[in-house]
Each structure stands twice: as structure tokens, then as C-alpha cells.
Structure 1
């Protein structure tokens, strides 16, 4: 099945919402204010049933100029647009601005719908069509089919549905092979369920249970449940409208424009190099470092425009390269489309493509312009790095196939470019991919060490499992091993930690923990339960299990039964004394005479010697494992 998103565009009160209802039988105006004012304020969504081969989401966008940001957020991720024009009014200013925005966003698939045809006669229909055809001449809608529809009585609705299906059947579905990315356009709470976000999936797949990342705040979340138009799904894919019940974050921490992504795959940026195409007519000039509003995905962010070949943009209908410096971070990548608007006086300036999502600082002048244009041209090397950014790790053969270049050319780039990395298994990756993955793991470990300072780290298997939906297992494993060589990570047994991390009690409880250990040490072998000591120091109950695990893991205490633990120093001293004052084997009675312990403490003590492989029980005696005891005592010294 193919998955598509269809958007509407057009002037206010030209019948987009009524047409949506005629096509889907759903009223997308859900807000009280929308009902009272009879205008769309927020984006509306509805499933459009066309045939069994495709699943289509319909987006109804506001037509009023005050809600242009909602319109841009709605059409940014669509596969097909319907330009809606009321028959009794024809092309209007907002219709033309919507057309500019659609063109600048690179939308190339569309059709035209004339509504309210009950208000015009046949002769007027011809005039309306002529006016529209003249208005769309030279645009992507120039050859588009045009439909006349009465959304109230249903005239022309079925023909329109057939036209939409014919347009979509030859349109490719979005690529679901990349890492998951969903720009959020709605966030709300559901009683008993928690926080829910909605959006159109730009890339990749998402499954129930996936651990994702909310950008730009870098909050880890879990996809608990998925729905597509109120129907539960286990999987969401590129091109679909998906609602995701996310765990680990509150509604107040999310806003429209945030992006839900595969963990560790995307970075944020505040400086982007762009190829900008301006609208045909600019009402006002735009000065160097002038304030702009960037619309990208569903985000709307203020910033400044930086020119490298002029101090003022005066004429419209220009194509130029420049830079945008933002006040807040956004999530984007090379090739993404954007719209630029002027905050005041309000005006669409233009739009275009991202050349580099992580722009640098450049000098004013022709050299910078040439460099940006060269970067825009996408050299084979850049295409290779973009491919590795998408796929993470590929063989030389796969790269050759994807880029349609000889394998020898790929090998030559590998030998000449230090930013290309070869894994021991033979696959290729890039320094950027590895750096992003390594940085994400470091951030995760920092957060984990902060939350659980008593623990050694995260199990290596858990890290690999958490990332392997985005990164191949071998790449994650290799990145961790490389991290140990570059002093980023430490691997101790099954655990991975930051190099500088040593398990330790939380600072605010450090002195009280010292008092607990001093009290247990003073008791020597006849100890009271460790919980008693922790409670006596008024250490929070929630920390008890963590602290006990830490004491045992670090062998500060030796656990002899469920409740009793002996400090390492008296424990070692008792083992040494018993070893020296008994023969190669000893009985419980022998141990009692040496240690003076009652049976309550003596039995778990000698059983602990068995568990440490220091003794071997043989019927009523225990035989010393001499070499093991000597090694153990040396290590404990």
C-alpha cells in the first residue's frame, strides 16, 4: 500500500473545509472559535478513502493571512496539493501567496478545484477557468486538471476523487528506508494515556516501543502507542499522518515545530547556508542582517539573513545564496525546503533549499558566493557523505550501486579522504556519522550517570539494542570500542561508562553514607541489617536498594545473607585469621573457636567462603583452596 498526504490551499472562505467534508464526511473545524467565526484557525486532518491501493490523509489549512504559519506547517510535508478557488470570487491575494509558498516549497504535483459553482452559470465557469489558467501560467499548476465542484450537493465530488487517485497513482511514496523524522504540528493530552503528538512522517519508520528523541531539547521518549486517523497501528511510515502516545515527557515540554526522531540520528543547528529564491515582487527591501522568520517543517523561528554579495535585497524574482542565523535551534538537513517571511511589515520574502545544515563563518565577497554555489552543486564526495548520513554504513559495492559510480572510484575516495572510515568488517562510514553516534551515546551516559551515580554504567547490550534500529549493530559496537581507545568510554565487563565516571553515592548523601559504612565496620562480624543503618541516617528509602547494590558491586561490603553484610576490612581480617589458625580443612566447630561467632553469624560467614571459591565443602568439613585464598588476600590488601 502507498501512503500519501494531500493538502489544500487557497483564499479564506473559498470552501476548503466544506470541500474536505464533502470528500471525507469529516468536519475538520473542531475548535469553538472556528465554529463561532466560521473560519479555519488550526490545521484540520481527515482520512480520504480512494481505493485499496493507497492510504491518504487530507490536510485542510487556514486561508486567512493571519494564519499563514499554520498553512506553511500544513503543506510542508504534502505529496499533492489542491488549489481551491471559489467560483464567485476567482483568484484572490491569499490564493496567489499560497501559490508562491507551494512553488517555493518545491511542490510539483497538484490540481485545481473550483468550488461554490451553484453561484455561477456556465458562461461564468468559462471565464473563471480562463482567469485561473492565466494566473497559473508558468507554474507547476499550468498543466494541472481543473474540477468544478459543489461541496454541498455533491456535484463533481466523485470526479474529483478519481482525479486525485489518478494523480497519486503515478506518484512515488516517500522513502521509508531512512531514519525516522516527524515534525510535530499538534500536541495534546488524553486522559489516562498522557501526552500525544501528531504530524506527518517525513522519513523512515516508527514502531510501538521505539525509543525516540525529541529535538531540539534532546529529551529521550518512548513511542507507547500509534494511531493513524484514530485507528491503532503497530507501525507508522513516511507519508502517513501519525499520532504517537509518547512516554517520558509532558505536554508542556513540547511545542509545534519540535521534531520526533530516531535516537542519535539528527542534530540541531542555528546557522544554515541556503539557496534562496525570492517572490516575483517584493513590497519592501530587505537589509543586510534584517530580521526574518524561517518556516521549516512545522517550525517557525526568528533569525537574521546574512548576504555575502550585497547589503540590501531590493528586487524580487532573484536566486541567490546566503546564510540564515537563527535565535533558536532547528532540525534540518541538506535538501530540505523552507519559507522566509518578514515579521513586520508581514510579507513572504521567498524560499528555497538547505545547502548546508551546519553553516560556518564566512567572509563577505565573491569567494564565499562561489564556495556556496559549489557546495550547492553537490559533488560526488558530498553525495557519498549524504548517502552515509542516511544509511550509516555500507559496503563499497552498495555505495557503487547507490551512487551509480565504479567501485574503484569509491575506493579512491576512501584512500584520499580522512573523513571516510573503514570498519574492520570492510564497510564504510563517515567521521560525521560516528561523531553523531558517539556524541549521542555520551549524552545518554551523562544523563544516566547523573540519574544513577551509584551504578557502573549501562549494559553494552542495552546500548546496542537501543540504537540498532537506526545504526547497524556492528557500527555501534565498533564506535564503543573506538571510544575506549580515544578515552571517551570505558567498558568494564558488561557495562559501558564515561571514562571519568566512577560509581559514587549522590553528593548530598555522601557524609551519611560514610557514617553507615563506619558503623558497619565497627560492628565487625556481628552486624545488624544494613537497612537499619540506612534508616538511622535518614537516607531516603528510594536510595536503599541502589546503595546496597553499590556496596556489594564495589565489594565495600560482603553480603553474607539477605539482610547482613560485613565491611570488607573485618571480613578480610576474619578470613586471614581463620586461614592461618586452621589446618588445610576445618569444621564449623573449628571456625567457631577461632572467630567466636554464634551460629547465627557463623553459618552465613562460612557459606560466603564457599561462594567466593575460597573453600570447598566436603560433608562436615570445608577444605581451603590454598592458592585462591592467597591470591584473594593479596588482592584485598
Structure 2
């Protein structure tokens, strides 16, 4: 059963019980800071793990409710799959609740559970009034069909019911798959003594593995994932939907900050000009004039910039979507479709939100021509739509592409043909289509894994093909991995020997660290010839670790430099070849044990295993007391 990972947020007004509810669900107190304890409010983002079933894992984000900490709230809810809107029964909907609701909708959160907390403080009449008020407030939002639950965090009333309700909602939610390039917007940075720089965030997409080579954007600083933790437990990897902390090698604490993005590929765009589709808040606000300074919140980034309109000189309350541009004071990392919040820096208020049409905006003329161009970009060209679909799902057949792009059969066929001709995507026989850049990413990852394997196990022929596919199976569909491996072999970047796969031109060899000692042992085996001691005797007093001894044994046998004479004895190939040639030269088409003993002058201890080895290697065939040379029978 495939494990599924989700992130849910606790949102609502200050002191409505979000932190208490999180603790009741998870037994984790998310108020960590001393000032949070003293003041009784959440300042920084708090996180807690919740496992609902064997295969359903949840990270709960407890976001600050106070207006002054709204930026932390935005960073926390960016990327959540479900929100639990906490409303205190004795206060009802408050101004901060309203703003949280607006932000959640602008960020594309579609699923909500309303948790009416502190039920013990009101009677049934008041509870009914508060419930009706909340339903009225939500009636014009995407949350108008949200389920409700009444609970008390301190007594535990309603907590189990809430867990079941969360599970029900998440089971009907598309969970984030791990396909695609890894991306983690950073929301916390700190240092651990003796470990160095650690970053935290929610994995938006892809998979990150221990020892992976990553990059901190927008600065473009290469780093290495030295250690990965998911809710304080060390893991070999973290995937989309999981809350994770990564210990980074190769970067100082001062060189990374909240809002930076950790990625594993060069396919992410760094930009300071974005074309957007903006929806403003539903209540009245002071008009936003042309080129007014604004504060953009996207992912965990918070950047100042100027808003540029092409069809008006100021923006007032409207139900229409506004196509415009935001020119930023700093570089950010975004993709088409990323959601954002726009706020006025002074006085601090939310203006609206929307999504990124074009991450790499240009300079355009004022007028309807530019609006028409932006609207065309908003809708996307057929190639854009196919590329976007393949970026998210990595491998899709024609039927799936039609469903996800809404293109008709004729236009899709034409688009696919053009993309194949230009090399933008590849066709995987009987499976579908994938982006060429996805293949390049897979190729680089597989080569990196194999090079690391060769470094760790230099005496092996290579890595098992099944093992290699399994190691990348969490991030990529198996058919795409199979196709990529075959294509890499066709392009002579990989070589295959039976079930083993290796980097082209790789040859098994003794490890540099132990080469001298291993060569000494092999030399002693060669010198002893057919008087070889038990194999373990050659390592007596040697500092070679047991795993290296096992690797050397397998290497000598697989490369044909030695033969297994008995269970505990090896002989060097030189001794084997000498005995074989001597016996072949001095016998006819067949021979018996007595003849062999006279020719080779070996004791029965070595003679019987040697003759059995000849049979096993198909040099001879035994029939009663005679052995026949195989080539003599041909």
C-alpha cells in the first residue's frame, strides 16, 4: 500500500484554541519559544505529526493568529492540503478569521473543516447561533460545504470525531505525488552545534534523499543533504507533502534565509518580474494606484515590489480577475501556476491574491494588446498545456493528456507531433509521453547513483538493475525508469552485464585504500598454487574489515582470477590453468582418477575437488570412473 503524506493547517483568530487543538490531536505542544509561553500566543510556525492510518501521515501546521504575525501565517498555509478553521464558540467569527479565510482561498486551498472550539463555555442556544453565523459567513466562499464539528480540546470531547473527519476529507483529496523535480520553500533556518546549517520546510514536490546534491536558490549555492529528518526522526528520504528538516553541507547559516528555495535541478526559474492573474478582496479598500509599492507573499518568500497595470491606472474593488505584472526588488523562485498573496505594506492589509501566469515577465506597452497577450498566456498554448501536464505527472498517455489539457484529439496529435520533432518530449512505447528534461534529470540521477555505487563497491560489476530502479522508484514511474535505462544504454552512457548495470567504461577494481594489502594476499594465493591454505588464513592479522574480505572474495571469483576449490579454499587461476593444460596435454579423449593423480601429483585432498571443478565448468564430463574432455565429443 502506497504511503500518502498531507499537510493540514490550523487557522483562525488569536486565542481561539488552535494550539490546544493541535496538542489534543497530536500530544505535541507547538508553542516552543519562551515568549510564546509567556504571552500565550503563537509567534512562529508550529508543526506536529499525526498518523491517521498505516498509510496516511499528516503534518499539522499551527499558524499564528495575531494580525502582526500574518506573514508567518501565509508562509505556513502555503502548500497545505486541508485547513481546520478554528472558531471559539464564545466569540465566533472575528476579523482575523475573515482575513485568514481570504488568504486561504487566494492560495488555492479548497478543503476546510470548521472546528467550533471551547464548547464548554456556551450553552446550546449560543452554540447554534455561532454555527449559523459561521455558515452565513462561509456561504459565499469555496468553503460553503465545509463539514462542522463541535469540540473541547481540554476535555477531549470531539477529538476522535475530528480525526475521523480529517481522514475522510484527506481520502478524497489528491495527495501530492513525488514525481518531478524536488522543491522545498524554506520557512525556518537555524544551526545545530556540531552539525551546521539546518533548514525546515514542507516539500512542495519531488523527493529528496540523504547525500543528494542540491542548490539553494535564488543565490545558486550548491549544497549537500547531509541528514534528513521528518518530525525529528532521521530518514533516508523525504517526499512531497512531508514536513522536513535538512542538515545542509557546504553553506553558512548567514547565506540562507527564510524564503529561499531548496531544489535538485536547474529547471527552476529565478526571476524578479512576474505576470499574474490577480483577484482582489471582497470588501472595500483604498484604491491601489499604478506602480504602488506592494508586498508579495509566494511560497515562503516575502518580497517588496511594484504593481504594474496595463488596462487601468488604479485598482479598486472588483469581482473581475485583473491581469497585471509585479516587478520585484529581489529575485524569487516561481513556476507557472504558483499561488501568491498581495498585501499593502502601509497600512498593512491584504489586497488580494492569485496565480502566476508567466514567471519570466517582460516589459509591455500599456493597452488592450498587452491584456490580450496576457489572456492568451493565461489560457496557455497547446504546447504549454501539455508541458505543464507532463511537468506535474511526468508520464501520461494520450487519453490522460486529453483529460488534463482539455485539448481535442486533432490539436493534441498535432501538438504531440511538433513536440516530438523539436525534442521537447519523448514517446515511451505503449506507455505515453514524458518531457525530455525529465529524462535528462533521471539520467543525471541514475548516473550519480551508479557513480556513488562504484565508489562504495569498486570490486562489483555494477548495481543490480532491479535495485537501481527500486532506488529511484519513489520519484519516477517504473516504465519511465525502464525506458531511461534502455535509452542510456543505446547512447552508450551505461553498460550491462547480465543483471548488473554500470557506468560506461567502468571496470571492477581493487579499492585504493586497501589495494596494497589485497594485492599482497592475492600474490600469496598465487605463490601457494595448489598448496593453498584455507582462504581465511590469508587474512590472519590483516586489518581488512570483514565486509572488504567478502567483497574481495566475490571479486576474485566473478572476475575469474580465482576458483572455489573447496568450501573453505580458493586457488589462483594461474595454478588452475597450469593443472588444466598439464592434464589435457598428457591424456587422450578420457582419463580416470588414477591417471590424473599420476600426471598432476596432487593429494586426494586437492585432486577430487579439482576434478569436480572441471566437471562444473564443463571442461569434462564424468561417466562412471572415466572423465571425457567435452571438446573431444564435439
TM-score by length of 2: 0.66
Alignment-derived partner of residue 339 in structure 1:
341
Give the secondary structure class of the aligned counterpart of 2:352: strand
Q: Is the 8 A contact 2:12 2:87 kept in 1?
A: yes
Structure 2, gaps ≥5 residues long? 445-471, 494-503, 506-634
Give the secondary structure class of the aligned counterpart of 2:7: strand
Deviations 1:316-345 (A, max 9, x none): 444211111111111111111110000001
Alignment of 1:69-218 (within 5 A): 69-218=71-220
Q: How far apart in 1 are the matches of 2:174 and 2:151? A: 27
Alignment of 1:21-420 (within 5 A): 21-387=23-389, 389=391, 409=411, 412-413=414-415, 420=422
Deviations 1:250-284 (A, max 9, x none): 21111111111112221211111111000012321
Q: Is the 8 A contact 1:275 1:322 kept in 2?
A: yes
Deviation at 1:70, TM superposition (A): 0.3
Alignment CA distance shift 1:31-1:424 (3 Å): closer
Q: How far apart in 1 are the matches of 2:148 and 2:134? A: 9
Alignment-derived partner of residue 5 in structure 2:
3
Give the secondary structure class of the aligned counterpart of 2:163: helix
In the alignment of these two chains, the number of paired residues is 461
Give the secondary structure class of the aligned counterpart of 1:18: helix
Deviations 1:267-309 (A, max 9, x none): 2111111110000123211000111111000110001101000
Alignment-derived partner of residue 13 in structure 1:
15
Q: Is the 8 A contact 2:308 2:325 kept in 1?
A: yes
Deviations 1:568-595 (A, max 9, x none): xxxxxxxxxxxxxxxxxxxxxxxxxxxx
Q: How far apart in 2 are the matches of 1:376 and 1:76? A: 22
Alignment CA distance shift 1:185-1:412 (3 Å): same
Q: How far apart in 2 are the matches of 1:23 and 1:203? A: 26
Q: How far apart in 2 are the matches of 1:76 and 1:424? A: 33
Q: Is the 8 A contact 1:9 1:95 kept in 2?
A: yes
Q: How far apart in 1 are the matches of 2:427 and 2:147? A: 53
Alignment CA distance shift 1:397-1:55 (3 Å): closer
Deviations 1:75-116 (A, max 9, x none): 011000011111111110000000000111111111101111
Q: How far apart in 2 are the matches of 1:478 and 1:322? A: 47
Deviations 1:540-569 (A, max 9, x none): xxxxxxxxxxxxxxxxxxxxxxxxxxxxxx
Alignment CA distance shift 1:153-1:289 (3 Å): same
Q: How far apart in 2 are the matches of 1:145 and 1:62? A: 23
Alignment CA distance shift 1:311-1:27 (3 Å): same
Alignment CA distance shift 1:478-1:269 (3 Å): farther
Deviation at 1:354, TM superposition (A): 0.9
Structure 1, gaps ≥5 residues long? 441-466, 482-492, 495-637
Q: How far apart in 2 are the matches of 1:218 and 1:42? A: 27
Q: Is the 8 A contact 1:14 1:85 kept in 2?
A: yes
Q: How far apart in 2 are the matches of 1:111 and 1:236? A: 27
After superposition, the CA RMSD in angstroms is: 3.6
Deviations 1:31-60 (A, max 9, x none): 111111111100000012322230011000
TM-score by length of 1: 0.66
Q: Is the 8 A contact 1:5 1:77 kept in 2?
A: yes
Deviations 1:469-527 (A, max 9, x none): 8996899999999xxxxxxxxxxx99xxxxxxxxxxxxxxxxxxxxxxxxxxxxxxxxx
Deviation at 1:348, TM superposition (A): 0.3
Q: How far apart in 2 are the matches of 1:377 and 1:162? A: 39
Deviation at 1:426, TM superposition (A): 8.9
Q: How far apart in 2 are the matches of 1:332 and 1:343? A: 22
Q: How far apart in 2 are the matches of 1:336 and 1:2? A: 22
Q: How far apart in 2 are the matches of 1:380 and 1:186? A: 39
Q: Is the 8 A contact 2:383 2:419 kept in 1?
A: no
Q: How far apart in 1 are the matches of 2:138 and 2:33? A: 33
Alignment CA distance shift 1:310-1:119 (3 Å): same
Q: How far apart in 2 are the matches of 1:302 and 1:476? A: 45
Alignment CA distance shift 1:265-1:473 (3 Å): farther
Deviation at 1:371, TM superposition (A): 1.4
Q: How far apart in 2 are the matches of 1:399 and 1:372? A: 24
Q: Is the 8 A contact 1:282 1:316 kept in 2?
A: no
Give the secondary structure class of the aligned counterpart of 1:113: strand
Alignment CA distance shift 1:473-1:370 (3 Å): farther
